[in-house]
Amino acid sequence: MCEEEKESFTDKMKDSYGRTIDYLRISVTDKCNLRCKYCMPEEGVPCVAHKDVLTLEEITRIAGVMAGMGLKKVRLTGGEPLVRKNITELLRQLHAIPGIEHLALTTNGVRLAEMLPELTEAGLDHVNISIDALDPAVFERVAGRAHLQEVLDGIAAAYAKGLKVKLNCVPVRELNPDEPLRLAGMAKERKIDVRFIELMPIGQGRQFTGIPTEELLRQMEEVYGKAEALPYDGEGPAQYYAFAGFAGRIGFISPISHKFCAECNRLRLTAEGRLKLCLYYKDGIDLRELLRNGAEDNQLQEAIAQALLQKPKEHAFGVKDRERTEQRRMNQIGG
């Protein structure tokens, strides 16, 4: 591709609201080894046929095509990305793509400790680990499986290895109301970010009640003292706070109460190859179909650039619009 052509596609990574889109979250599977109550039903979900899931080569091709348009960061998620066969090989292939500067993973941590050496060797540099409770009984109640120790081992291993570690907890009134306070304490000794994500009314999440950010912050200040709001660090949607004597930061991601759509820089790719423009809406394009029908790189780029122009200005959680809203569950979208 000539320089001029490259530049015109880089421009096309802007959406119609002037936002630069340089971040792709890739769901590599919708299978999972946990059953978090707000995410997946206990009986699991109907299996997507193997042939319908993007192959490693197809995922790498899409990431490569988008890197040619200005993509800089890729995050693998799921379902649980560490249950996907050959995930390390996928990381290695993505790491080799020129232009992709950051390779991250969002995981429940169950298989992290055992897989960490191969993952870091393949190029992983950031890891977000989801953990909703430190009390073993509460963990099992939320996650449906007694795997707390494995998750703690994963966190310890990632931290010891020097990876940038962020912990994510979804506070839910009916499931883990006392855990956010205890989890926040994990940032006291270790330089890790502990973040609290507002429950979104997607899939199983519709059956539960999230705990508002203000309430959590108040609880934490009662125990850990006054929190200092930190200036925006230019990375992602979290608002961070510092507590005196804490090595790490406490963050709040509040898509419902504090919309951050104006700064949105992301697209999502589902395991079946649908490029999603916004978490809330089902709109998007079927890249798998294009790929399997033999589209050339420039045709893929054109289709992606056109889709980007349809990226909505903002989500509309709270508005009932079955026609346009996403009906998939979070394990299918990737969170």
What residue ranges bind ligand SAM (CB under 6 A)?
Answer: 32, 38-39, 77-78, 80, 106-108, 130, 168, 170, 197, 199-200, 202, 205, 330-331, 334-335
What CA–CA distances, in Å, run from 2 to 61, 64, 298? 19, 16, 12
Site track for ligand SF4 across 120-139, x = CB under 6 A: ----------x---------
Output 279 or 304, the one with its CB closest to ligand SAM: 279
Instruction: Kindly state whether residue 171 participates in binding ligand SF4, applying the rule CB under 6 A.
Output: no
- Closest-CA residue to 36 (of 151, 185, 153): 151
168 binds, among ligand SF4, ligand SAM, none (CB under 5 to 8 A by kind): ligand SAM
Contact call for residue 32 and ligand SF4 (CB under 6 A): yes
Least distance (Å) from ligand SAM to the CB of residue 45? 12
CA proximity to 11, closest of 276, 218, 302, 328: 302
Sign of the alpha-carbon dihedral angle for 92, 303, 53, 269: positive
Secondary structure (3-state) at 239: strand
Cβ distance to ligand SF4 smaller for residue 60 or 130: 130
Between CA 275 and CA 185 the distance in angstroms is: 38
DSSP, residue by residue, 242-306: EETT-SS-EEEE-TTTS--GGG--EEEE-TTSEEES-SSB--EEEHHHHHHTT--HHHHHHHHHH
Q: How far apart are CA 73 and CA 180, in angstroms?
A: 29
Which position among 79, 154, 251, 273 is part of the footprint of ligand SF4 (CB under 6 A)?
79
Q: Which of ligand SAM, ligand SF4, none does residue 199 bind (CB under 5 to 8 Å by kind)?
A: ligand SAM
Of 64 and 78, the one with the shorter C-beta distance to ligand SAM is 78
Q: How many residues are given for the chain?
A: 335
Residue from the set 27, 239, 331, 332 that interacts with ligand SF4 by CB under 6 A: 331
Distance between CA atoms of residues 144 and 319, nearest Å: 30
- Least CB distance to ligand SAM at residue 287 (A): 20
By CB under 6 A, tell whether 40 contacts ligand SF4: yes
Q: Is 28 in the site for ligand SF4 (CB under 6 A)?
A: no
Q: Is residue 35 part of the contact set for ligand SF4 (CB under 6 A)? A: yes
- Residues lying near ligand SF4 in the complex (CB under 6 A) are found at 32, 34-36, 39-40, 78-80, 108, 130, 330-331
